[in-house]
């Protein structure tokens, strides 16, 4: 017998603490959990059922899609469109808004998701995951359009991600701290294993793609150079470097032992303000990181306060242990 708290129980107990709660939000979260369980099963069986490799198509970003990108996106849409909890959806893999078919009831929430973050790693068996963000649909909007999704990250009702690694884990915040749940494959339930996750303010670990170093701005060059110099440098301590190229894996590591993750602006394509997507990656991950005591910034402003201009907008991302993020931001201000 398990003595831990099931995710379903955890969500229901949260609902009971909110006066006049209708259960719609609880139902939506349970539907997302079910979709993530399905994707987890597919990821684990990818090579056995011939769904690895490229799909031969591109997403709205012009990036090559993996077969599992396409399949995971379909799982999310088909699992959630009929439930009656959503007014509309938006996916990193699809150009426009995903409307709820007319034959299904509409709810009061908007969902944005990256169905399979880090999918470039799927063929080499490195952790990937699903990221999601929940917003309220503005009152009196029966047919949401893109502008209804363009809410700053501070307006998120909930954010979470599911990481498909050696174990499948769901990390979740509703604005009252961060909790992690591990999927017990034998019973098909997520169980609370990491309550009240917190990020230490200081760290000796950074994650960045060093192959882009020559394109970084001077403040980022300065920060990384100081880390590399170790005990002999101005920081007076040694740092470790990590780079997984899977944001869910990077953020999960930071949640469990601290660190800083950076995908800063670089000069490879000056017309692009950043690499990562504000609505599908930066906002939900920043909400989670801040709720765990960390910080996040574009280097110029708090990510959660960025006013979105489009659902596929990109931004620079610097997030993780608070004191390190603030140091990088300070270097930008000095510059």
Provide CB contacts within 8 A for 260, sequence distance 6+.
Answer: 203, 205, 206, 207, 254, 318, 319, 320, 321, 324, 325, 328
Q: Is 286 among the annotated ligand-binding positions?
A: no
Query: What's the Cα-to-Cα distance from 142 to each of 78, 233, 308, 311, rounded to whole Å?
Result: 21, 59, 22, 19
Q: What is the DSSP letter of 5?
A: P
Nearest to 161 by CA among 33, 65, 269, 259: 33
Q: Is 202 among the annotated ligand-binding positions?
A: no
Q: Is 114 among the annotated ligand-binding positions?
A: yes
Nearest to 89 by CA among 79, 40, 33, 24: 79
Nearest to 26 by CA among 115, 143, 107: 107
Q: Is 209 among the annotated ligand-binding positions?
A: yes
What distance in Å separates the CA atoms of residue 130 and residue 60, rounded to the nearest whole number?
A: 18
Q: Is 120 among the annotated ligand-binding positions?
A: yes
163-192 b/e with 16+ CB inside 10 Å = b? bbbeebbbbbbbeeebbbbbbbeeeebbbb
Q: Is 304 among the annotated ligand-binding positions?
A: no
CA distance between the termini of the chain: 58
- Is residue 171 classed as helix, strand or coil in its secondary structure? strand
Q: Is 118 among the annotated ligand-binding positions?
A: yes
Rg for the chain (alpha carbons), in Å? Answer: 20
For residue 43, give the H/E element and its range.
Answer: helix 24-44
Residue pair 247/299 in contact by the 8 Å Cβ criterion: no
Long-range (24+ apart) CB contacts under 8 A made by 16-20 are none
Binding site per annotation, positions for substrate: 117-120, 209
Cite the annotated binding site by residue number: 92, 114, 116-120, 209, 281
Binding site for Mg(2+), by residue number, is 92, 114, 116-117, 281
């Amino acid at each position: 017998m398990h003595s831990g708290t099931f995710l379903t129980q955890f969500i229901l107990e949260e609902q009971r603490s909110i006066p006049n709660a209708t259960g719609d939000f609880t139902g939506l979260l349970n539907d997302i959990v079910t979709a993530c369980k399905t994707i987890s099963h597919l990821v684990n069986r990818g090579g056995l059922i011939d769904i690895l490799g490229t799909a031969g198509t591109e997403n709205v970003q012009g990036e090559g899609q993996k077969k599992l990108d396409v399949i995971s996106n379909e799982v999310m849409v088909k699992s959630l469109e009929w439930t009656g909890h959503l007014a509309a959806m938006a996916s990193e893999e699809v150009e426009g808004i995903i409307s709820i078919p007319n034959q299904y009831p509409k709810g009061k929430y908007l969902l944005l998701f990256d169905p399979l973050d880090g999918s470039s790693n799927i063929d080499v068996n490195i952790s990937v995951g699903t990221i999601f963000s929940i917003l309220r649909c503005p009152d009196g909007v029966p047919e949401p359009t893109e502008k209804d999704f363009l809410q700053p990250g501070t307006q998120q009702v909930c954010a979470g991600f599911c990481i498909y690694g050696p174990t499948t884990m769901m990390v979740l915040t509703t604005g009252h701290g961060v909790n992690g749940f591990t999927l017990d494959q034998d019973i098909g339930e997520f169980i609370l294993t990491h309550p009240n996750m917190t990020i230490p303010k200081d760290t000796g670990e950074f994650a960045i793609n060093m192959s882009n170093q020559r394109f970084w701005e001077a403040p980022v060059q300065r920060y990384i150079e100081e880390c590399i110099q170790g005990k002999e440098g101005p920081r007076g301590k040694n740092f470790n470097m990590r780079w997984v190229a899977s944001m869910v894996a990077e953020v999960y590591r930071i949640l469990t032992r601290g660190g800083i993750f950076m995908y800063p602006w670089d000069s490879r394509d000056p017309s692009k303000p950043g690499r990562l997507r504000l609505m599908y990656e930066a906002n939900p991950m920043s909400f989670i990181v801040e709720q765990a005591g960390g910080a996040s910034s574009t280097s110029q402003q708090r990510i959660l306060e960025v006013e979105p201009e489009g659902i596929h907008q990109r931004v620079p991302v610097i997030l993780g242990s608070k004191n390190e993020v603030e140091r990088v931001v300070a270097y930008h201000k000095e510059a």
